[in-house]
Structure 1
Amino acid sequence: MSQSFNRRSILGAALAMPAAAAAGNLIAATPAAAAGVVAGAWTDLVLEPGITAQAGATPQVRLITIADTTFLQARGAITCSLAADTKIATLPAGFTPPTWYVRAATPRNNSQGINACRFEINTAGSVSIYGANSGNPITWVQFDAIQVIWR
């Protein structure tokens, strides 16, 4: 029994050393802004007629660059009545459209066991939602889960 206890002590000490070193590195780390993270301002999407921002959740986007890779982040939510794939918004003025389609899955109302839809921005800057049909309409979409590489 003594031998097993000693092995556990040695193993525990060996595993604790890298954790202690990592914690020291995290404490000494510089803030994100100093480490190459650049976050743009949140900007409202330009919504299409019939698409409404949920109260307190205006749909917005921003670009954030981390280590020379730029991502699009979105937040907010809409109320709608979509029975087909539909353009819901346009990127804000001054927002350069992507060079290729940008797509992400995002939450929607749960209907017939389907609770996600496709969010897409095309090369013209149009924002569309895919996955609705007359038998399974989309009544709301939430954007907080969207973070994709921006091209």
Structure 2
Amino acid sequence: MPKTPNRRSILGAALAVPAAAAAGNLIAATPAAAAGIVADAWTDLVLEPGVTAQAGATPQVRLITIADTTFLQARGAITCNLAADAKVATMPAGLKPTWYVRAATPRNNSQGINACRFEVNTAGSVSVYGANAGNPITWVQFDSVQTIWR
């Protein structure tokens, strides 16, 4: 009786063809800049009194456009002592959204809460929400902020 191929070898052969085609497409792909990605330079946020940049982590923002959609990206971290929702910074000149921009971002872990809301209003004020007297925010990291800019 002739030997028939097992299912594993048939599946392996079937998957090899699309994988080879995909690899060829990746090799021929254009660089990011040619594919419609435009990233502005990082610009420092203007911090409010009592809010300081963590060493080596100056809070900054930039706009990045991918396929005709513009995003706000942030990086850096602040040290603060917030017992209520508060303005922590102002956007650089010329960067004001047409509507509220919001994202969740890490903060000090207190009572099991380790995230807060990062928000930019139409005046360019950057605020942090989620602090209260029993659960103060002592630091916030902005590296996770990437949200659609309106």
**TM-score (norm. length: structure 1):** 0.95
Q: Deviations 1:42-95 (Å, cap 9, x if unpaired)?
A: 000000000000000000000000000000000000000000000000000122
2:114 alignment counterpart: 115
> What is the alpha-carbon distance in structure 2 between the residues aligned to residue 133 and residue 101 of structure 1?
22
Q: 2:79 is aligned with what amino acid?
A: T
Matched AA of 1:17? V
Shift of residue 24 of structure 1? 1.2
Alignment RMSD, CA only?
Answer: 0.9
Matches within 5 A, 1:34-113: 34-95=34-95, 97-113=96-112
Q: Distance in 1 between the 2:112 and 2:31 partners?
A: 43
Letter paired with 1:8 = R
| Counterpart AA for 2:76 | G
Q: Does 1:28 align with 2:60?
A: no
Q: Equivalent residue for 1:140? A: 139
Q: Secondary structure at the match of 1:11?
A: helix
Q: Which runs of 5+ in 2 are unaligned?
A: none
Question: Which amino acid in 1 is paired with 2:13?
Answer: A
78-87 or 21-30, which deviates more: 21-30
Post-superposition offset of 1:18: 0.9
Tell me, what secondary structure is at the counterpart of 1:16? helix
- Stretch of structure 1 that moved more, 141-150 or 16-25: 16-25
Unaligned runs of 5+ in 1: none
Q: Which amino acid aligns with 1:139?
A: T
SS of 1:13 mapped into structure 2: helix
Q: How big is each residue's C-alpha offset from its partner over 1:89-138, in whole Å with a ceiling of 9 and x where there is no partner? A: 0000122x111110000000000000000000001110000000000000
CA–CA distance in structure 1, aligned partners of residues 57 and 7 of structure 2: 55
Q: Distance in 1 between matches of 2:45 and 2:120?
A: 11
Deviation of 1:6 after TM superposition, in Å, equals 2.6
Q: Which runs of 4+ in 1 moved over 4 A?
A: none
